[in-house]
């Protein structure tokens, strides 16, 4: 490798760490995953995140390309080498600013001293690198042929041989491979949104900006924008009630986040607490509070006056909830660990109840990348059953005339309006008052659903 081609130290370090994280994820070693991210320095962590999320976000696509270029079946390739190949093809496609020979050389170096492995990685990646042909796309064009990969807005790369299924023959299979989604989920998109299915699938792969919502009474959108720009953040812009910025390292390093002036929350999630409309002095139950973005939002709307019972179970998300409460010094929020059986929900009555239910995450796959691999009919059916149970478990806790909001970050009707309609059929004392449904391909942001139910007097 020549001196002019030597990679930056942090970039090469990130590539090695990414290989460890990807191997760990394949083996279910989540603790290693978190440790690698926490231990990486700022620039290295940013590249590490881009690589890991990028490879997982496009894994089926990368494998489809590799399957046409390895001598035998891709499944016969040693798992460690398969991850190296995925990293290499990801960079050849989606990090075009890197010279292709450099990508190949760095990938070879990840093999260590094994001559056979080095030769294999070198041959496969050079063959792919030499075959890529740049293509310009029309505005908003989504290629659905068998040889083209969209790599950025209005830009694509074309390979000489087909590597994707024929969209005209099997559209669900094509979308699944192109956008790394389950065929079941793509079939659902085609059924629910026949004219938008491709756009909805692509939205699951797009990199999302970081969204920060200013805390009422401590900061507003304009002042938060000014602070972020003064601190050197890039891509800063207003998006409704939140401020967005380009991903550039841990959000914990942002001063406005450290001092409690803002919280991490997307514009779609920021609609939920206002839908519940908690008032100062009210008693509120947040049944699934962790990690706490909506809980904090409710406390703000109440001016810190009243009581919010923030229920959670032990885990990383619960730790984030407790940190958010402490950071903002919210005395009106009382965290409550429900334990594994969730049998200790604090007694009512409550003026308002929020059930932000665990779900498939089908509306936020661009951010929660790993959830895409779990989207199957049996999983969604089980989730819908649990969601209905959660909703019914709090029905008696809402006072007459009180409000009950049910929300998810899913775009699937099985988890949304179907659950609400099943609840209304079982609980005659409620009526539907309002609904929100947001699709990522229409808003350019997270997808999600919320419904406000009123308890009859």
187, 107: one domain: no
309, 367: one domain: yes
In the chain, % helix, strand, coil (3-state, to 5) comes to 50, 15, 35
- In angstroms, what CA-CA distances link 215 with 63, 148, 241? 43, 44, 10
Number of domains in the chain: 4
Last residue of a domain, one of 265, 280, 304: 265
120, 190: one domain: no
pLDDT in tens, the chain (457 residues): 333 333 456 667 888 889 989 988 776 655 545 656 666 666 777 788 889 999 999 999 999 999 999 988 999 999 999 999 999 999 999 998 899 999 999 999 999 999 999 999 999 999 999 999 999 999 889 999 999 999 998 999 999 999 999 999 999 999 999 999 999 999 999 999 999 999 999 999 998 899 999 998 889 999 999 999 999 999 999 988 999 998 877 788 899 998 889 999 999 999 999 999 999 999 999 999 999 999 999 999 999 999 999 999 877 888 889 988 988 889 999 999 987 665 578 888 999 999 999 999 999 999 999 999 999 999 999 999 999 999 999 999 999 999 999 999 999 999 999 999 999 999 999 999 999 999 999 998 999 999 999 999 8
47, 159: one domain: no
Instruction: Give me the CATH number covering residue 357.
Output: 3.40.50.150
pTM: 0.92
Instruction: Give me the CATH number covering residue 243.
Output: 3.30.70.1170
Q: Which of 387, 363, 386 is CA-nearest to residue 375? A: 363
CA of residue 426 relative to chain centroid, distance? 33
34, 89: one domain: yes
Query: Quick one: pLDDT at residue 68?
Result: 95
98, 222: one domain: no
196, 237: one domain: no
Which strand (E) or helix (H) includes residue 402?
strand 398-408
431, 324: one domain: yes
Query: Quick one: pLDDT at residue 245?
Result: 93
- In angstroms, what CA-CA distances link 180 with 40, 87, 169, 447? 27, 15, 18, 18
φ/ψ (deg, to 5) at 189? -60, -40
254, 309: one domain: no
φ/ψ (deg, to 5) at 353? -135, 135
Which strand (E) or helix (H) includes residue 43?
helix 42-57
Query: Quick one: pLDDT at residue 5?
Result: 36
Query: Quick one: pLDDT at residue 314?
Result: 77
Token duo for residue 27: 């083996």
156, 218: one domain: no
297, 176: one domain: no
Last residue of a domain, one of 169, 188, 203: 203
343, 445: one domain: yes
What domain range is 38 assigned to?
A: 3-131
Lookup result for tokens 């989730």: 383
């Amino acid at each position: 490798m020549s001196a002019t081609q030597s990679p930056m130290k942090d970039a090469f370090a990130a590539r090695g760490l990414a290989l460890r994280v990807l191997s760990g994820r394949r083996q279910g070693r989540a603790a290693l995953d978190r440790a690698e991210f926490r231990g990486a320095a700022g620039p290295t962590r940013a590249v590490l995140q881009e690589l890991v999320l990028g490879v997982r976000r496009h894994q089926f696509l990368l494998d489809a390309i590799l399957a046409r270029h390895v001598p035998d079946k891709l499944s016969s390739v040693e798992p460690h080498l398969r991850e190296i190949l995925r990293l290499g093809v990801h960079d050849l496609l989606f990090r075009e600013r890197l010279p292709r020979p450099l990508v190949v050389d760095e990938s070879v170096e990840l093999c260590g001293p094994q001559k056979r492995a080095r030769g294999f990685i070198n041959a496969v990646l050079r063959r792919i690198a030499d075959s890529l042909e740049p293509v310009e796309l029309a505005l908003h064009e989504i290629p659905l042929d068998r040889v083209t990969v969209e790599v950025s807005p209005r830009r694509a790369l074309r390979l000489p041989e087909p590597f994707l299924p024929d969209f005209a023959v099997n559209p669900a299979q094509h979308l699944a491979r192109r956008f790394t989604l389950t065929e079941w989920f793509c079939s659902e998109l085609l059924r629910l949104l026949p004219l938008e299915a491709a756009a909805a699938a692509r939205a699951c792969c797009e990199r999302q900006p970081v969204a920060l919502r200013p805390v009422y009474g401590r900061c507003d959108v304009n002042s938060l924008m000014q602070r972020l720009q003064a601190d050197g953040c890039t891509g800063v812009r207003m998006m409704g009630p939140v401020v967005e910025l380009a991903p550039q390292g841990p959000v914990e390093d942002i001063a406005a986040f450290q001092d409690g002036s803002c919280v991490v929350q997307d514009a779609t999630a920021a609609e939920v607490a206002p839908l519940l409309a908690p008032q100062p002095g009210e008693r509120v139950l947040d049944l699934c509070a962790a990690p706490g973005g909506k809980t904090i939002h409710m406390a703000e709307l109440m001016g810190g006056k009243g009581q919010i019972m923030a229920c959670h179970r032990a885990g990383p998300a619960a730790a984030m909830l407790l940190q958010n409460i402490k950071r903002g010094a919210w005395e009106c929020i009382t965290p409550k660990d429900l334990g594994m059986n969730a049998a200790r929900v604090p007694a009512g009555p409550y003026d308002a109840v929020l059930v932000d239910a665990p779900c498939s995450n089908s509306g936020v796959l661009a951010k929660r990348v790993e959830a895409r691999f779990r989207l199957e009919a049996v999983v969604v059916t089980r989730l819908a059953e649990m969601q209905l149970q959660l909703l019914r478990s709090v029905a008696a806790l809402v006072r007459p005339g009180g409000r009950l909001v049910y929300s998810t970050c899913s775009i699937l009707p099985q988890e949304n309006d179907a659950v609400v309609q099943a609840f209304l059929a079982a609980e005659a004392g409620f009526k539907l008052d309002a609904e929100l449904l947001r699709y990522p391909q229409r808003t350019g942001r997270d997808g999600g659903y919320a419904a406000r139910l009123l308890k009859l007097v």
